[in-house]
Amino acid sequence: MTAIPFYQIDAFASQPFEGNQACVMPLDGFLPDGTLQAIAAENNVAETAFIVAKKPGHYALRWFTPAVEVPLCGHATLASAHAIYTHLGFDGEEIAFETVQSGVLKVRRLSDETYEMDFPAPKVEKIAVTEDVAAALGAWPLEAWGGPFYAAVFGTPEDIEELKPDISLLKTLGVSGIGGNWERGNFGCVAPGGADGADLTSRFFAPGSGIDEDPATGSWHCMVAAIMGPRLKRPLDCYQAYPGRGAKIGIELIGDRVKLRGDAVTVIEGKFTL
């Protein structure tokens, strides 16, 4: 039997029960894909991150939901950096994560113990709002954008908080656009303003990735930065309004890159036995 170190971390959270859950599991080498997917399904949190050390401060990284491997995951990258700094003894200036589809992602721990991630800014384009999407969301957006996901822009934070989408309908929807098909069944919703001085409030529904609603989504906030950053032209404090949890995510669009900032806290430490 093999025992794999296991850390469950609340990412984009300053205390337990906030943000989004991620499991981080350091490996000597990646296990077969079917085994990685089975472990993620067993963990049954939004993402399980598997990391393999290449050299000090440099890791290979893959992310799995309980259902699929994903090309980019912000909160599990933050959780991985937190595990490396907090539990694996790294004290360097920056961690580099080598990924399959998103290139090299860099994370550093700031002087206030929060983390800053450097991600690629996605290409986005404005698209028409359609009746099928409005019906699935249960509300008509002011704008719609395409990119890695379908983005719906609303007028107020209350619009976002009151959304009660038809998840089964959302899962079937998707449109053709930049680089081929945007991921079917993955919808972000955002509006200006929010509680405690937030610049933006959002939610993210991801039945296409096996998650009805995600509590804190870094990859979605890269798209938020690409859409809203050029309008406001400054760092933005975002609140992802998942019912019962909530997450604070700092974003800043700098050229073709996005800075994502947030906290993380470990809630479980142990071993996963195969």
CA distance 36 to 205: 24
Question: Which are the catalytic amino acids?
Answer: 47
CA distance 238 to 223: 12
CA distance 57 to 194: 37
